[in-house]
A and B are shown apart, each in its own frame.
Chain A
Amino acid sequence: MVYTLCFALFLTGLYCALTKKNTVKIVIGLAIMEYAVNLFLILLGYRRNGVAPILDRSTDLADFLARSVDPLPQALVLTAIVIGLGVTSLAVALCIRLYEKYGTFDVTQIRRLKG
């Protein structure tokens, strides 16, 4: 159920990126996809009644091993968030530049290339 809802969020983003005619909307679609995948990875690593994968002086290692959530997806997502931020910034820069050239965010009015 949780996985499916997250996948639905992903597909909503994909739908937005593929069908919308506005450059900012397309970027928003990409960002939604990004969030959904990140969330999906973290959902995969969750352990029922889990604890965060951070030790402190009072932690008992055996108990920690049995209860901690999976640290690897968290590390991956940390990387993926920053990558997503980079890609989105580049996309926003392109949107602004296209706006300066054409005075619009509308792809249908921008299209000069034949595809």
Chain B
Amino acid sequence: MNSILPPLLIAVPLGIAFLIPLVARRLDRLADTLGNLATLSLLAVALLMFPLRGVYRIGGWNPPVGISWVLDGLSNLMLVVVNLVSFVATLFSIRYMERYTAKHRYYSLFLLMVAGMNGVILSGDLFNLFVFLEIASVSSYALVAFGGRHEELEASFKYLVLGSVGSTLVLLAVALSYAVTGYLNMGSVSTLIAGRQAEPVLLLAAVFFIVGFGVKAAVVPFHPWLPDAHPSAPAPISAMLSGVLIKALGVYALSRVLFNVIGVDPVIAGVLIAVGALSMVVGVFLAVGQWDFKRLLAYHSISQMGYVVLGLGLGGYILATGGARGAATLAILGGLFHLANHSVFKSLLFLCSGSIEQATGTRQLKEMGGLRERMPLTRATCTIASLSIAGVPPFNGFWSKLLIVLAAFQAGFAWLAAITILVSLVTLISFLKVLRYAFLGALPEPLRDVREAPALMSISLVLLAVLCTGMGLLLVPAVRGVVLDPAVAALSQGLEYARSLMAGM
């Protein structure tokens, strides 16, 4: 493939990120313009290259020799999701970030993070995956501490320590895979280790991959950094972290490696199902007791990621045990669709929390109240997002949860379906609490002159709310065949897929 588009996904954010500290040190408006232009053009590139499929040979070297990028249904879907959310977040940042100093550094770090995520998604090479994982992680550590307050620094340190442990484990796993095969290219590694999954070294590598990416995805045994780090960051960064970072670095990378390189066997799939179910339940019950709006959202992120992992694990399990292919694709479809949906509604919720925080100066639900007339737009969008996350029809969260429940029933895991529905109900209760305390009731005295968020911020809220309402349409068969099915195919075809595509020409 010779298209000019894939390099732009890396070169544009990196170039602008390097340029901003040079030219926009004193000029916040210039930094705003450059940052937003960069993310807008990235979104355009991601949409333009949606139909592209194939292998891009960096430097002109054929795959096992050089590094290659792999473009398929899954990576293209992820690219659109990531760049969409980053565009909305930068749009929101223009006004929101005025309360902090050093805006140019903010945009620079933001673009580095986006470049890192794009790199992870494109990469077809294990070591290269690690390098871009580190770019995205390092810039996110710094962004969490951007506010410079006590709790922000502390959350960032905790995140840095656990994140670095995760990255180092991933590097060790890459080293082990190299030691066994002599290749780093995903397709070649997968070909060489086919049928050898039971060897202790590969088992060790699989464990390190699962733990390393699990830390990045904040699934339950590895989640303690998330409830600190995500609320501490500025709102647009929280939206990025919860909305796309844990997915690109965690779930996407994990499923790529497990499904396409190592191969899912029943044990690994069982681990995924257990971790997913545990995350769902633990996350939601920790969330119920929270009164800090952003912290509550962060716990819900853990819970919702559980749905995604559960869907993928279920699909993998059915495939590995030779069950009905239809049920497997349904489960993977549910997981991936929920991943995309969660990106949209969780970023919207975090942006809403930012807009409320901007207006009221607090994140505590108990100090809010009566905002329904003061902030009608925020209220409307926040309600839509809450109903989405709780899985109320016709919003997008409902459809993806429905798919996962159906798949669990078809595969004979009725108890998993029951847990899924139960967690969904608890989520609904938790968000009814949010809506009740934030928007209903009497307006507290200090909040008398609260005003709706500035127009630029509202645009991003409305954009995401429209998506929340409309994304169910992606399941219409004609659309689904173009958008979601190729992504599902990338995972459900597993190793054969890797051999045919990633090993290259």
A residues sitting closer than 8 Å to B (CB atoms) are: 10, 14, 17-18, 23, 26, 30, 33-34, 37, 40-41, 44, 72-73, 76, 79-80, 83, 86-87, 90-91, 94-95, 97-98, 101-102, 110-115
Contact = CB atoms under 8 A, between A and B. Distances in A.
Interface stretch (B149-157, B251-259, B464-472): B149-157
Contact of A91 (B134, B160, B184): B160
A44 B175 contact: yes
12 contacts: A17-B164, A18-B165, A30-B168, A40-B172, A72-B184, A76-B127, A83-B131, A86-B138, A90-B141, A90-B142, A102-B150, A111-B154
A112 B323 CA distance: 49
B175 A34 contact: no
B150 A101 contact: yes
Contacts of A23: 157
A94 B172 contact: no
B257 to A, nearest CB: 17
A83 B134 contact: yes
Interface string B354-395: 000000000000000000000000000000000000000000
A21 to B, nearest CB: 12
Interface residues of B, number: 31
B328 interface: no
Which secondary structure dominates where chain B touches chain A? helix
Nearest to A95: B157
By Cβ-Cβ distance, the 4 closest A-B pairs, closest first, are A44-B179, A113-B228, A94-B157, A33-B168
Given A94-B156, A113-B155, A14 B165 contact: yes
Which secondary structure dominates where chain A touches chain B? helix
Given A112-B150, A113-B151, A90 B138 contact: yes
B441 interface: no
Given A17-B161, A37-B171, A115 B131 contact: no
A80 B171 contact: yes
B154 A110 contact: yes
Contacts, number: 82
A115 B37 CA distance: 38
A59 B154 CA distance: 55
Nearest to B225: A115
Contacts of B141: 90, 94
A58 B156 CA distance: 53
Contacts of A41: 175, 178
Contacts of A72: 178, 184
B160 A90 contact: yes
A33 B131 contact: no
Nearest to A76: B127
Contacts of B171: 37, 80
Contacts of A33: 164-165, 168
A87 B178 contact: no
Contacts of B145: 94, 97
A30 B163 CA distance: 11
B164 A30 contact: yes
A44 B151 CA distance: 42
Contacts of A83: 131, 134
A111 B224 CA distance: 14
Interface string B279-315: 0000000000000000000000000000000000000
